[in-house]
């Protein structure tokens, strides 16, 4: 298969390199990333790192790991072209041949066409987080554009540190794409209890020196504005190389692109949902890691079946830990079992996801059950959580 080249040294790229070695791949292995320093994890950027500022705790593997595993790691190196005919990538550091290529290019902040948006900060990379942390050192008023996971996690940290925080969400409820109405309401109450102002259903129309203006005409006064309105997959490289892309690099059930010498994973990848066959794209540590595991197994002849991992996700907001096992469509029915547990069912009354707050026990039980491969009925689900 070799040499294997991995483009993107984030969560999934690093895991793919590590798992290839763990699975016995002995050929040349190069991991290329355009960010400086060692590969790091992003989830703490809006949580522990934002609160405490310990950058060392983010590092996924120490420098010695790359030497000891004979992984050639090229930081601050951008891959700018893929020549699929000669199987070569063009990088800032010269050309590199590949036998198999893994695209792990992640995603970038979505920048809607809002006038003045260049004034807003991002929270995607360690460099972004360092900049933002510099701002929370002294009391300020923050406006957060977007009531999704990242915006809300930041809002919780900023409120705890005593800042004034306004979250402006365009939709009628928080985290609307990902959770049930009940969970949106639980988190709305939590953020309001914490003292954040949360504005729903009134999109930001411009960013001005004094803060943000809303479509409805109101102004939110703010010293700093954080843009957290979702992401878009980094597919430019793949598109230019002629790979099929549609909200992500399109993969088959084995996580291969339209070129069998190229796999893709993580935030940049659109792949068939193992349960429904519907094309999905997930922005989670779980997807990046499980994709990497699947690709490493395939490339080392340890398994060639279809990708079948069950999605799961978490988000920490103040003292609420939201966990989601499985994957619901927004239209899936929600059954509120208790304040902290919601079951989601599709139109066949089959369990699709379980949302919990501070209830790791139910999360793990139901996650295991969803991973069983058999449909979980409503009765099964209720019996399971007792």
Q: How many residues bind ligand FAD (CB under 6 A)?
A: 36
Q: Which of residues 121-140 bind ligand FAD (CB under 6 A)?
A: 123-124
Q: In what order do the strands lie in the sheet with 79-83?
A: 79-83, 88-91, 94-97
State the first-to-last Cα distance of the chain, in angstroms, to the nearest integer: 49
Q: Which is nearer to ligand FAD, 45 or 222 (CB)?
A: 45
CB 221, min distance to ligand FAD, A: 25
Q: In what order do the strands lie in the sheet with 249-250?
A: 249-250, 269-272, 279-280
Kindly report the backbone phi and psi dihedral angles of residue 26, in degrees, each rounded to the nearest multiple of 5, phi listed first: -115, 0
Any contact of residue 13 with ligand FAD (CB under 6 A)? yes
- Residue window 35-64: x/- pattern of binding to ligand FAD, with contact defined by CB under 6 A: x------xx-xx------------------
Any contact of residue 18 with ligand FAD (CB under 6 A)? no
Residue from 4, 114, 237, 280 binding ligand FAD (CB under 6 A): 237
Q: Give the residue carrying structure tokens 């991992």.
A: 309
Cα–Cα dist 221/203, whole Å: 15
Q: Which of residues 284-303 bind ligand FAD (CB under 6 A)?
A: 284-286, 288
Residue from 166, 213, 234, 270 binding ligand FAD (CB under 6 A): 234
Q: Which is nearer to ligand FAD, 204 or 231 (CB)?
A: 231
Kindly report the backbone phi and psi dihedral angles of residue 353, in degrees, each rounded to the nearest multiple of 5, phi listed first: -160, 160
> Segment contacting ligand FAD (CB under 6 A): 63-71, 263-271, 272-280, 330-338?
263-271
CB 287, min distance to ligand FAD, A: 7
Cα–Cα dist 12/320, whole Å: 27
- Residue window 63-102: x/- pattern of binding to ligand FAD, with contact defined by CB under 6 A: ---------------xx-----------------------
Residues 153-178: b if buried by 16+ CB within 10 A, e if exposed: bbbbbbbeeebbbbbbbbeebbbbeb
Instruction: Count the Cβ atoms, other than its own, within 10 Å of residue 67.
Output: 11
CB 178, min distance to ligand FAD, A: 11
Any contact of residue 233 with ligand FAD (CB under 6 A)? no
Contact by Cβ (8 Å): 199, 220:
yes
Q: Is 133 exposed, middle or buried (0-12, 13-18, 19+ CB in 10 A)?
A: middle
Q: Which is nearer to ligand FAD, 126 or 213 (CB)?
A: 126
Name the site residues for ligand FAD (rule: CB under 6 A). Answer: 7-13, 32-35, 42-43, 45-46, 78-79, 104-106, 123-124, 150, 234, 237, 266-268, 283-286, 288, 313-315
């Amino acid at each position: 298969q070799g040499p294997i080249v991995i483009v993107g040294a984030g969560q999934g790229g690093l895991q793919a390199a590590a798992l290839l070695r763990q699975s016995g791949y002995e050929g040349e292995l190069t991991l290329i990333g355009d960010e400086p320093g060692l590969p790091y994890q992003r989830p703490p950027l809006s949580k522990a790192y934002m609160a405490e500022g310990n950058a060392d705790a983010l590092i996924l593997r120490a420098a010695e790991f790359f030497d000891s595993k004979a992984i050639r790691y090229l930081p601050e190196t951008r891959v700018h072209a893929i020549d699929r005919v000669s199987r070569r990538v063009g990088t800032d550091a010269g050309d590199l041949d590949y036998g198999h290529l893994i695209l792990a290019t992640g995603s970038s902040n979505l920048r809607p066409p809002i006038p003045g948006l260049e004034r807003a900060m991002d929270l995607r990379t360690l460099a972004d987080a360092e900049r933002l942390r510099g701002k929370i050192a002294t009391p300020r008023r923050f406006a957060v554009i977007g009531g999704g996971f990242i915006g809300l996690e930041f809002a919780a940290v900023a409120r705890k540190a005593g800042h004034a925080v306004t979250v402006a969400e365009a939709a009628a409820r928080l985290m609307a794409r990902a959770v049930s109405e009940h969970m949106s309401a639980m988190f709305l109450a939590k953020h309001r209890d914490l003292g954040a102002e949360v504005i729903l259903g009134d999109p930001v129309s411009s960013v001005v020196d004094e803060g943000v203006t809303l479509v409805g005409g109101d102004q939110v006064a703010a010293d700093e504005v954080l843009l957290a309105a979702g992401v878009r997959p980094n597919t430019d490289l793949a598109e230019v190389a002629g790979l099929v892309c549609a909200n992500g690099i399109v993969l088959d059930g084995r996580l291969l692109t339209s070129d069998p010498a190229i796999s893709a994973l993580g935030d940049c990848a659109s792949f068939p949902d193992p349960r429904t066959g519907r094309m999905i794209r997930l922005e989670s540590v779980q997807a990046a890691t499980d994709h990497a595991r699947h690709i490493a197994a395939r490339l080392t002849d340890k398994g060639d079946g279809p990708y079948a991992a069950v999605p799961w996700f978490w988000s920490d907001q103040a003292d609420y830990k939201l966990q989601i096992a499985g994957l619901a469509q927004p239209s899936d029915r929600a059954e509120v079992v208790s304040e902290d547990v919601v079951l989601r069912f599709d139109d066949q009354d089959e369990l699709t996801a379980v949302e919990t707050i501070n209830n790791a026990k139910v999360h793990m039980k139901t996650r295991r059950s969803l991973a069983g491969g058999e449909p979980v009925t409503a009765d099964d689900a209720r019996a399971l959580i007792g």
